[in-house]
Structure 1
């Protein structure tokens, strides 16, 4: 039976910067029941900044919480099902949003590693155009700390990534996997069409990586990204989470 939709929204104006990282940095974070999903034998992490627009939870708009920014660090995993299906998904290291209520709901419903911080952004007005220019997502990690940011300038014409394009690997993971405090795993499906992407100039991540993500990521994220692009985004549907048990069956978790 298909789970009921938990959240519907639009994800727009995405900045997606990826780096190769040593697999041993990620393995302790891999959710039970999944394995690392590698791109041509390389483990990748991605810093992603984007806009949530027209957000609804269980079909209802939440006043003051419909449009907001998010910046996350994620990596890629896969789950092989008994029938041969391969579910390719993402696992989050840290997710930043500007409102405490959003972070609380995400932690309660999915046990996702959300944190609420002051945020601001520079994005195109309205829908994504064919010349979106420079997109910037910024956040202040602590009171009195300097603002940090992820940014890139779109160049050229948009395209739909081809089958051997790193951008396709990064954008087309349609499952989420989250470790739980008891050692288990929650799985949820994310539905959206393929996105157009732009090549970029001047991609940058300016952040205290050790404080934000952990010392293990400092070396990898200090260099230039292995891929960098801007994506237009689309409407998305995020379905209710289900728990993956030790026998690879799915159970609905007790929390909302």
Structure 2
């Protein structure tokens, strides 16, 4: 069996980053990891991106290989011997296909739901418009940016590096058990965001703890070009 559970192309990853009180995240924090901070601030990110050419155990998924994903995540780290592993925890992940959500929940104990989604991506010579939409309570929510096409490398220690450079996923199994899996991809280039638009019913999507974000401006909105990505089949329970 291949060591990769999933391989895919992730493209045009928009991340709207909100400062939150760390206490809000503690009930969702898996055992054995700790919150990761940037400049003493805790963040959650509302994320939208294109999932393309998806393969499970190197087998293409007929008719389901390309779709939008929207998720809400926060940032953690785990000390494993002499290694500090920087990763993310997902509050919720949204895709349009029930089978994809079922597989992810069954095999990785994640928090996927299936609701209608759509995208609109327009590429021009020097700029691009990227929009992701998802329907909850009969209303379309969205995250959208207009950005430059020119690619920019991540700067060490920057907010952009903090948001994008995470290579582990952590899942809370029980109050005393957690699961770790590894995500591999090359470092991503980013594009300068000129302007953005967000409408998200955070309470309906993510619960009362995150309802205030509907009326809060993100501290930053970023977009990365993306790349090929693999998710390892090996999972570590600790």
Shared topology, TM-score over 0.5?
A: yes
Q: Secondary structure at the match of 1:123?
A: strand
1:103–1:132 Cα change, 3 Å:
farther
CA RMSD of aligned residues (A): 1.7
Q: Give the Cα–Cα distance (whole angstroms) in 2 for the partners of residues 67 and 139 of structure 1.
A: 15
Q: Which residue of 2 aligns with 1:89?
A: 87
Q: Give the TM-score normalised by structure 1.
A: 0.88
Q: Distance in 1 between matches of 2:59 and 2:149?
A: 38
Retained in 2: the 8 A contact 1:151–1:203?
yes
**Counterpart position of 1:161:** 154
Q: Give the CA deviation at 1:124.
A: 4.3
Separation in structure 2 between the aligned mates of residue 9 and residue 154 of structure 1, nearest angstrom:
24
**Are 1:139 and 2:137 counterparts?**
no
Q: Give the Cα separation in 2 of the matches to 1:204 and 1:154.
A: 12
The answer to whether the 8 Å contact 2:147/2:195 transfers is no
Correspondence for 2:101: 103
Q: What number of residue pairs does the alignment pair up? A: 237
Match of 2:216 in 1: 223
Confirm whether residue 201 of structure 1 aligns to residue 194 of structure 2.
yes
Q: Is the 8 A contact 2:3 2:234 kept in 1?
A: no
- Say if 2:126 and 2:148, in contact at 8 Å, map to a contact too: yes
| SS of corresponding position for 1:133 | strand
Aligned to 1:30: 29
- Structure 2 residue 53 is the aligned partner of structure 1 residue 44: no
Length-normalised TM-score, structure 2: 0.94
Please name the residue that 1:75 is paired with.
Answer: 74
Alignment partner of 2:205 out of 207, 212, 221:
212
Alignment CA distance shift 1:172-1:146 (3 Å): same
Structure 2: segments with no counterpart, 5+ residues: none
CA drift of 1:183 comes to 4.3
Partner of 1:113: 111
Aligned pair in 2 of structure 1 residues 81, 99: CA closer, same or farther (>3 Å)?
same
The answer (yes or no) to whether the contact 2:31–2:175 under 8 Å persists in 1 is: no
Runs of 4+ aligned structure 1 residues displaced above 6 Å come to none
**What is residue 232 of structure 2 aligned with on the other side?**
239
